[in-house]
Amino acid sequence: MPEPSLTLDSFRAELAECLFLPADEVDLEESPLDAGLDSLRIVTLLERWQAAGVDVTFVELAERTTFAQWWELLTTRQRGAGHADT
Amino acid sequence: MPTPERHPLLAAQEGIWTGQQLDVDSPAYNTAEYVRVHGPVDTAVFDAALHHVVAEAEALHATFVADDSGRPWQFDTPAGDWHTHIADLTAGPYPHAAALAWMDQDMARPVDLTRGPVFGHALLRTAEDEYLWYHRVHHIALDGFGLSLVARRVAQVYTALMAGEPVPDSGFGTLESVRAEERAYRDSARHAKDHAYWTDRFADRPPVATPAGRSALPARTFHRHATDLAPAEADTLRRVARELSVTWSEVVLAVTAAHLHRVTGAPETVLSLPAMGRLGSVSLRVPAMVRNILPLRVAVTADDSLRDLAVRVSRELRAGLPHQRHRYERLRRDLRLVGGQRRLSGPGVNIMPFAYDLRFAGHRSTVHNVSAGPVDDLALNVYDRSDGTGLRLALDANPDLYTEGEAAGFQEGLLNLLAEAVTAPDRRLREMDGSTPLAVPSASVLDGGPLPAPARPVLSLIAGHAARRGGAIAVEDGDRRLTYAELFGAARDIARSLAARGVGRGDVVAVVLPRGADAVTAVLGVLLSGAAYCPLDPKAPADRTAQLLADATPALVVTTKDRAPAFPDHTLLLLDQPITADVRAPSGPGPADLAYVLHTSGSTGRPKGVEIGHAALAHFVAGASHRYGLRPDDRVLQFAPLHFDTSVEEVFLTLCTGATLVIRADDMTDSVPRFLDECARLRVSVLDLPTAYWHETAYAVSTGAAALPSCVRTVVIGGEAALPERVERWRKAVGTSVALLNTYGPTEATVVATVADLHDPALLPGDVPIGRPLPGTRAAVLGGELYLLGDALAHGYRGETPDNVRFGPLAALPGSPRAYRTGDLVRLGEDGQLRFVGRADDEFKISGHRVQPAEVESALLTHPGVREAAVVGQPLGDGTRRLVAHLVADDVAPSGIREHLRAMLPSAMTPSAVEFLDRLPRTASGKIDRIALSALRAPAAAPSEPGFPSAVSPLERTITGTWQQLLGIAAVAVNDDVFDLGAQSLQAIQAANRLGVELGRDVKVAWLFQHPTAAALARFLAETETQTAGDSDGAQPLTPPSGLPPTLFADTVLDPGIRPGIDRPPHHTPRRILLTGATGFVGAHLLAELLAATAAEIVCMIRADTVPEAAARIATALARHGITLDERTRSRVTALPSDLARPHLGLTRDALGDLAATCDAIFHNAATVSILRDYATLRAANTESTRQLLRLAAVRTTPLHYVSTLSVAPPASRSPEVPEAFLPPHDGLRYGYQQSKWVSERLLEQAAGRGLPVTVHRLGRVVGPSGTGYVNEHDFLWSVLRAGIPAGIVPELFEDEVWTPVDFAARSLVHLSLDPAALGGPVFNHATLPRVRLADVYDWVAEYGYPVRRLPLARWREQLPGSADTAATTLAFFDSAEQATAADLRLGHVQADHVRAGLAGSGITCPSVGRDLVRRHLDHCVTTGLLPAPAGGGRSRQPS
């Protein structure tokens, strides 16, 4: 089975894992900086999303200041966009 | 050319700039990587791509120059014409190794930031289809991420060019956007929040443990040990990290912290984490230097598992990361963790997760780091290799701290631990194998070795002396002498009398007696009764005594009748009353019984009583008396009062050895000379001094104001850290034959725990260890903190106090032995000696007293007007501290506060200064911010204010200056009562001592108490001076020879405020040099030589009103001396209009400040040369200028080189030799010029003594350069010749003298001053050439064609026709009656070993000075019309 497409739920779940939070407590308006993310964690997430078919770079993620903006970016870059649930 | 635009540096760049300035020629800030391209490369296209990208990267077109105030700027400077180094190495046998070797060489070249370029590129072919692209950039331009942006872009451009496609846009942002963002951040609320987070997290400034146990500046290079983790190992690491819900980098951090714990034993490690600092920032798209460092605290215990640690690391990191933009350098500064051994964090861990997957025209590549910048300590670099082969770990080590073997061992241990920890993440650290690779046990333990013999109870030893040598003198107190038999008998009577009152074992007896034979007897009596003694200060405030009595709960108080009313609630034994004794002998103490209880400052706000048992006392006496080498014939001074534990050492070591205890009388310490005289009279052989008092003694002895008596064979010091400067003075003055023992020990470990031999000739200057443990004592160092172990430890503190946790088992050592945690931070040297570093808590010492701020604060809070109080020990410039109280209070006067405290606390605990605040600064967690408080008022080194009212006399100024320095107050007025300003008695002793030295007379301490204002003291001193002048025995050490101008001696006193200021790193290549007197004969040649020998800007102070006028004067002078400069060189000469004879050198304060901040060296050559003028008219230009320049030089400890004259020396008739050393006053100082130069030298002598880097260059007769024959027309001898030759007569002036050609003098002087390899000095006599005999000179003059007759001086003068020509002044000189004895002008043998040694190997030599030179000089005189051509046409021999 190919990797399932990225969904908001899976996005939240992956962030939650990085942030040691339950998925429903992830605040999408928080900034990656304030959340205490480091480069390695961002790279780890990036690699997963790239593997899921999202064409996005480290700089593009790192320069955005909320997780909501990340989600926005991911949905526009997803190959075969349109699957994304919003 | 338009001036390039300049910009302030980014904060990260400033950090790099500062680091580079510590060692400007260091290449350590070069960072580099190479990219291995697996495939063919078109080198021409690659080169084009590199030029394309460099042109786009703004950061690479920069130079960095500091302005006059020392502030660095980045200038937009195009990199210009640069080349890629392209080489094909495949022809050689080892292409890859050759490539790496080339890189090493390239990396070793320092970058000149002022010139650029800051980068370099190379393309090295290492195989048929393999190229290494090497990319080096100075760290000030790019950080690692910036480097990666450039690399990515090069790949992109190369690929496009190869494909013939248009090059896409770089997408790089501007540096200005990064600067703007940083400015905005600095003013943001976020910055304030970040600042609060870090200052709070590090408010306690945790000790930083490293395997080396010390820190060093980054070296120019580092050792690197790289290891690859196999893919399987890397996978395990990643898997375990996932299981633990952390990242693999956090696992690496946890294991690094754990390994550091194993190696150092420290309970906490602080790692340094480079952080990208770019999240959410515009700098993600700008190649620039913005990276930061995060300090990461990790507590580690042996019971932690990897799981515990990884989670702890992860939490700490996530708490800190949101604050990653706050600058590390700023935090260090705010926490005062800059300089010396202070640091904020230790080994670095640099995780580089960026797997560059760069493709060059489709060809794969791998990236390899060459250097990530300088290595402070250890740095673990971890790279995620992009080729799927796992992780690479490279450990970099500072070679100044670690050998290659140690670094390799550290890495091996780390990898072993990593492997074991990921296999068993729940295994506790203590259960893990892991060899300890550095030869450092988990705690460094120092063992003083066994006691020479079993410890025997002190009473039994003393009883033994009483029995066997009963007639020997035990105690001498003034006229009173007690033999051992008498002492023991009297003590037994007291013991019986105590027993009669039911006092015995288990009891405490307070002893409230002044130092004296009775006190010693009482102490022994108490001990014989079986009770312990508790000494209380008979002079303490009543409240304080009450507090200590409440704590000690004594069964009885031993005192005298006059003090009895102070103890209404206690049973008393009055020593001056008949004693009723019980007939029964008391049982005496057992080894487990207490011997004494002594109070020391407590962190809970109350003093705490330390309980020392008999076993501990016996143990200490056995170890210390052996270590000190005490003998029965010794006479030991009892300096300390009983309530200081030093008295235990003095009394018991002496009496247990059977030696004589000599009691110090109170007035013995009136002045240091008096003290030492008394020691001589009392034949004291062993002195045990508080370090603070010894500092004064060392100072007085070093200046000759007092001498150490020959009977003293051992001096023991202790109580606080000895100042290296005083140790040096002492060693210079006293030598190494007298034992100087530096002792260290808290009361809790029975007086002394470690001892160092400071008289050991092998000790390096400036090194003041506290040594090794006494026999029978052990010391352990954990995390930099000292723990003491052994049988000399106290039972503990009396009563319940949280401080008792300081005593406990030390789990880090086998068997968990009982230890005392001192709170003192130390460093263990390779020589096995301990060195004191600082305190782990707020405690500090004032005049040898331990002061816990909490204790003073709780006393302050008992004042009804005080609402909040915080006390800090403010460090003063000379290494001591003063106590400052910061109060929030309702309308109370500082004097009221001090009065209140004086009633409660010993004087050392009474603050010197009381400051009122609206509120106390607090950290985010609500703790008092002591760091901010210390910063509230920076202690001024108190340069005496130039703008001081002129009504103040020099004597008053000397007194106020001394107090300003001692009290750390910027201004003390002549009518200020120094005791109101917070002066303490030790400071009065210091002031008396320093004044005695400065004034060259005895100044008694009592006088300072009697005359507490400068005005009153000055008046008193002036009166006593006139009185003692008539005394027959008024021998004063510095009695001026008669006939010298009275102002002369007042001028020889260098203001106390002139002391070394900010320490500067030595500049091997000075950038800015200040020169005075550049228009003179020597000065013009000095200017030329400084320009030739350095690349520095030479700032010439010229007497002129405007810059053009000053510049014109320099140009005229250079032209006159035939010195030509090319345009480039001329641009390095700056003319500074000024006037040395005026206050502030005729400059504004700003201009003075600028000079102080920017000049790297000062050459003071200017002087008004006149053989006729008297001292008073020369002093401003010649002497005061030296003082002013010394003040300027002191600000940043700038070297000052002084051009002096051999004529300051006494003539041969008075001294057969001219030493290469500073000269005491002598009666050969007869002329104003000579006097003015001598006084300048005296000032320099004091400056040198205070540690300012100065040199003095004495020149003889400076004649024209060996090549040109130019004659200095102002020269005395040539004036004589020019007057005499036309008349055909010359005078017999002297036999011979030292001549030095000016060019040789200038070259020698500059070399000796600036070449760091040229050692010696500070005084240099430039007299290495054979002397020139005057008779020969006259022969050569005759040979030249001038017939001259030689006449005695007086007859010559008589026969010389009256003349109004230029020689008139010279002639007038001879007219003054006294000058007839011209033989006095001749000097004795002039020592010049310093110059000879300094010039050895420099290649600086001088053609012979003799006939040829004199001929050329005569030629010059004829050519320029100074002399008529000789009748015989002699000059034809020298074709022109």
- Identify the CATH number of the domain in which residue B792 sits: 3.40.50.12780
Query: Considering only CB atoms, which chain A residues are within 8 Å of B322?
Result: 33-36
B582: in domain: yes
Return the pLDDT at B212. 83
pLDDT in tens, B1205-1264: 998 988 887 788 888 988 887 877 878 888 899 999 999 998 888 788 899 999 988 888
pLDDT in tens, B162-194: 999 999 999 999 999 999 999 999 999 999 999
> Which of A38, A58, A59, A67 should we substitute to test contact with B (largest number of B Cβ atoms within 10 Å)?
A38
User: In whole angstroms, what is the distance from residue B223 CA to residue B424 CA?
Assistant: 31
Return the pLDDT at B436. 41
The percent of residues in chain B predicted with pLDDT above 70, rounded, is 90
Average pLDDT over residues B793-819: 84
Domain coverage including residue A31: 8-77
Q: Are residues B101 and B230 in the same domain?
A: no
Among B893, B898, B887, which Cα is nearest to B928's?
A: B887
Q: Is the peptide bond before B117 cis (omega within 30 degrees of 0)?
A: yes
Average pLDDT over residues B139-156: 95
Count of alpha carbons within 13 angstroms of residue B1042, beta-carbon side: 1
The lowest-confidence range among B169-173, B607-611, B658-662, B996-1000 is B996-1000
pLDDT in tens, B874-905: 766 555 677 888 888 887 877 788 788 877 78
The angle at the Cα of B247, spanning B244 to B253, to the nearest 5 degrees, equals: 95
User: In whole angstroms, what is the distance from residue A46 CA to residue B1421 CA?
Assistant: 88
Return the pLDDT at B438. 35
Among B535, B527, B526, which Cα is nearest to B458's?
A: B527
Q: Are residues B598 and B673 in the same domain?
A: yes
Identity of the residue in B245, B285, B317 whose CB atom sits nearest the CB atom of A38: B317
Return the pLDDT at B797. 92
Helix (H, G, I), strand (E, B) or coil at B1256: strand
pLDDT band at B1435 (very low <50, low <70, confident <90, very high): very low
pLDDT band at B69 (very low <50, low <70, confident <90, very high): low
Token code pair at residue B1275:
């020269």
Burial call B783-810: b when 16+ CB within 10 Å, e when fewer:
bbbbbbbbbbbbbbbbeebebeebbeeb
Rg (CA), chain B: 37
pLDDT band at B963 (very low <50, low <70, confident <90, very high): confident
- pLDDT of B1134 over the 50 cut: yes
Q: Chain B residue closest to A64 (CA)?
A: B280
The lowest-confidence range among B417-421, B657-661, B1436-1440 is B1436-1440
B1239: in domain: yes
Paired strand residues for B66: B72
Give the number of beta-carbon pairs within 8 Å between A and B.
Answer: 55
Return the pLDDT at B784. 77
Instruction: Say which amino acid occupies A47.
Output: E
User: In whole angstroms, what is the distance from residue B669 CA to residue B1005 CA?
Assistant: 8
Q: Are residues B418 and B465 in the same domain?
A: no
Q: Are residues B154 and B35 in the same domain?
A: yes
pLDDT band at B1001 (very low <50, low <70, confident <90, very high): confident
Q: How far is CA B87 from the centre of its chain?
A: 49
A85: in domain: no
A2: in domain: no
pLDDT band at B262 (very low <50, low <70, confident <90, very high): confident
B1061: in domain: no
Instruction: Work out the number of other CB atoms within 10 angstroms of the CB of residue B1013.
Output: 21
Helix (H), strand (E) at residue B882:
strand B881-889
If you ran DSSP here, which 8-state letter would residue B1037 be given? T
- Identify the CATH number of the domain in which residue B1354 sits: 3.40.50.720
Total domains in the fold of chain B = 6
- Identify the CATH number of the domain in which residue A73 sits: 1.10.1200.10
Q: Are residues B219 and B163 in the same domain?
A: no
B677: in domain: yes
A43: in domain: yes
Among B1182, B1183, B1190, which Cα is nearest to B1152's?
A: B1190
Among B287, B178, B1319, B1179, which Cα is nearest to B765's?
A: B1319
Residue with the bigger pLDDT between B612 and B941: it is B612
- pLDDT of B1432 over the 80 cut: no
pLDDT in tens, B1136-1193: 999 888 878 888 877 887 888 888 899 999 988 776 677 777 888 889 899 989 988 8
Compute the nearest-CA separation of A48 from chain B (Å). Answer: 14
Total domains in the fold of chain A = 1
By the 10 Å C-beta count (0-12 exposed, 13-18 middle, 19+ buried), A80 is classed as exposed
Among B194, B353, B181, which Cα is nearest to B274's?
A: B353
Query: Considering only CB atoms, which chain A residues are within 8 Å of B248?
Result: 40
**Averaged pLDDT score across all residues of chain B:** 84
- Report yes or no: B1195 and B1157 within 8 Å, Cβ to Cβ: yes
The angle at the Cα of B1289, spanning B1284 to B1293, to the nearest 5 degrees, equals: 80
Q: Are residues B395 and B495 in the same domain?
A: no
Q: What is the DSSP string of B620-665?
A: HHHHHHHHHT--TT-EEEE-S-TTSTHHHIIIIIHHHHT-EEEEPP
pLDDT band at B138 (very low <50, low <70, confident <90, very high): very high
If you ran DSSP here, which 8-state letter would residue B366 be given? E
User: In whole angstroms, what is the distance from residue B1137 CA to residue B1129 CA?
Assistant: 20
A38: in domain: yes
- pLDDT of B1 over the 60 cut: no
Q: Are residues B802 and B671 in the same domain?
A: yes
Instruction: Say which amino acid occupies B213.
Output: G
Identity of the residue in A31, A40, A65 whose CB atom sits nearest the CB atom of B351: A40
pLDDT in tens, B426-445: 998 888 875 443 333 446 78
Q: Are residues B343 and B291 in the same domain?
A: yes
Return the pLDDT at B1065. 58
Q: Are residues B824 and B960 in the same domain?
A: no
Q: Chain B residue closest to A69 (CA)?
A: B280
- Quick check: A37 and B321 CB within 8 A? yes
- Report yes or no: B295 and B271 within 8 Å, Cβ to Cβ: yes
Domain coverage including residue B148: 6-179
B1083: in domain: yes
If you ran DSSP here, which 8-state letter would residue B1387 be given? B
- pLDDT of B856 over the 50 cut: yes
Query: Considering only CB atoms, which chain A residues are within 8 Å of B276?
Result: 39
- CA torsion through residues B1123, B1128, B1129, B1133, sign: positive
Query: Considering only CB atoms, which chain B residues are within 8 Å of A17?
Result: 245
- Report yes or no: B59 and B141 within 8 Å, Cβ to Cβ: yes
Query: Considering only CB atoms, which chain A residues are within 8 Å of B357?
Result: none
Which residues of chain B have a Cβ shorter than 8 Å from any chain A Cβ?
A: 245, 247-249, 275-276, 278-282, 284-285, 317-322, 324, 351, 353-355
- Report yes or no: B305 and B425 within 8 Å, Cβ to Cβ: yes
- Identify the CATH number of the domain in which residue B853 sits: 3.30.300.30
Q: Which of B106-120, B442-456, B692-706, B1049-1063 has the highest mean pLDDT?
A: B106-120
Q: What is the DSSP string of A58-77?
A: HHHHHT--SHHHHHHHHHHH
Q: Which of A16-20, B482-486, B728-732 has the highest mean pLDDT?
A: B482-486
Return the pLDDT at B1120. 85
A58: in domain: yes
Burial call B515-528: b when 16+ CB within 10 Å, e when fewer:
bbbbbbbbbbbbbb
| Alpha-carbon distance values, B1288 to B14, B324, B1158, B1294, B1333 (Å) | 71, 87, 55, 19, 19
B1051: in domain: no
Identity of the residue in B249, B280, B318 whose CB atom sits nearest the CB atom of A63: B280
Burial call B939-967: b when 16+ CB within 10 Å, e when fewer:
bebbbbeeeeeeebbebbbbbbbbbbbbb
pLDDT in tens, B5-57: 899 999 999 888 877 877 778 899 999 999 999 999 999 999 999 999 999 99
- pLDDT of B1324 over the 70 cut: yes
A60: in domain: yes
- Report yes or no: B1089 and B1075 within 8 Å, Cβ to Cβ: no
Q: Are residues B798 and B856 in the same domain?
A: no
Return the pLDDT at B1317. 64
User: In whole angstroms, what is the distance from residue B1249 CA to residue B1059 CA?
Assistant: 10
- Identify the CATH number of the domain in which residue B286 sits: 3.30.559.30
Identity of the residue in A34, A35, A59 whose CB atom sits nearest the CB atom of B285: A59
- Identify the CATH number of the domain in which residue B1000 sits: 1.10.1200.10
- Left, alpha or beta for B790 (phi > 0: left; psi -120 to 50: alpha)? left
Helices (H), B164-247: 175-186, 189-201, 231-243
Q: Are residues B1196 and B1262 in the same domain?
A: yes
Average pLDDT over residues B1032-1036: 31
Return the pLDDT at B367. 86
pLDDT band at B1098 (very low <50, low <70, confident <90, very high): very high
Q: Are residues B116 and B244 in the same domain?
A: no
Query: Considering only CB atoms, which chain A residues are within 8 Å of B253?
Result: none
Return the pLDDT at B604. 66
- Quick check: B247 and A37 CB within 8 A? no
B1042: in domain: no
Show the low-confidence residues of chain A (pLDDT under 70): 1-4, 79-86
A63: in domain: yes
User: In whole angstroms, what is the distance from residue B411 CA to residue B404 CA?
Assistant: 11
Instruction: Work out the number of other CB atoms within 10 angstroms of the CB of residue B163.
Output: 10
Count of alpha carbons within 13 angstroms of residue B367, beta-carbon side: 27
pLDDT band at B1436 (very low <50, low <70, confident <90, very high): very low
- Quick check: B285 and A63 CB within 8 A? yes
Which residues of chain A have a Cβ shorter than 8 Å from any chain B Cβ?
A: 17, 20, 31-41, 43-44, 58-59, 62-65
* Dihedrals phi, psi of B1352, to nearest 5 degrees: -55, 150
- Quick check: B321 and A33 CB within 8 A? yes
Q: Is the peptide bond before B1322 cis (omega within 30 degrees of 0)?
A: yes
- pLDDT of B722 over the 50 cut: yes
Compute the nearest-CA separation of A47 from chain B (Å). Answer: 11
If you ran DSSP here, which 8-state letter would residue B1211 be given? B
Compute the nearest-CA separation of A2 from chain B (Å). Answer: 22
A39: in domain: yes
Token code pair at residue B1117:
């002078």
Average pLDDT over residues B685-696: 90
Identity of the residue in A35, A39, A64 whose CB atom sits nearest the CB atom of B276: A39
B75: in domain: yes
Q: Chain B residue closest to A45 (CA)?
A: B247
pLDDT in tens, B513-525: 999 999 999 999 9
- The position carrying tokens 């009543």 is B542
pLDDT in tens, B548-594: 999 899 999 999 999 999 898 899 999 888 877 666 778 889 889 99
Compute the nearest-CA separation of A68 from chain B (Å). Answer: 14
pLDDT in tens, B1040-1077: 455 566 667 777 888 777 777 766 555 567 889 999 99
- pLDDT of B466 over the 90 cut: yes
pLDDT band at B738 (very low <50, low <70, confident <90, very high): very high
pLDDT band at B696 (very low <50, low <70, confident <90, very high): confident
- pLDDT of B992 over the 60 cut: yes
Query: Considering only CB atoms, which chain B residues are within 8 Å of A64?
Result: 280
The lowest-confidence range among A10-19, A27-36, B630-639, B1364-1373 is B1364-1373
- Report yes or no: B483 and B491 within 8 Å, Cβ to Cβ: no
User: In whole angstroms, what is the distance from residue B363 CA to residue B33 CA?
Assistant: 18
Return the pLDDT at B1037. 33
- The position carrying tokens 């020879």 is B1041
> Which of A14, A19, A39 should we substitute to test contact with B (largest number of B Cβ atoms within 10 Å)?
A39
User: In whole angstroms, what is the distance from residue A14 CA to residue A33 CA?
Assistant: 17
